[in-house]
Amino acid sequence: ASDVYKRQTLGTVEFELLVSPKHPLAQTDSPHIDMLKLHRQLVISSKGSKTTWFNQAHSPDVWHADNYYVLLELAKSGFGWTLLPLHLAKEALEANTLCRVPVQFEQLGWQANVDVIQESSMISEANHTLRALLRRLLQQ
């Protein structure tokens, strides 16, 4: 059955620990990860979603949103800290409405693989072209 489907990694999406520049976490280097627990965390999740590393609660004060655009707006408005895909936060970082949380401990940013899983019998030239376009998009 594993020969029926082909899996291919197209690239990665980089995530970063971000906060509003006006938020207390942006004002000074945090010497320890426990400093994050003192502030509200904004987490991606949906009804019935399972907890994974990227939506795990590190703070006792957590707000949930079902998409990254809502998390982006909440973070820009100063409601808490969050892990966001850098490509979504790029404009806000350039406009200084978001910044990386200055930390002295190991960075919490991470990369998520973007994979395509497709039935082998359905692979065509159009599929190859689409995967090439997606691969280029992920490299930007």
Q: Tell me the pLDDT of the chain (140 aa) as tens digits.
A: 456 777 878 888 888 889 999 999 998 877 677 888 899 999 988 766 666 656 677 788 999 999 999 999 999 999 999 999 999 999 999 999 999 988 776 665 677 778 888 777 777 888 778 888 888 877 76
pTM over 0.85: no
**Nearest-5° Cα angle at 24, 70 to 94:** 55
Rounded Cα gap, residues 114 and 22, in angstroms: 33
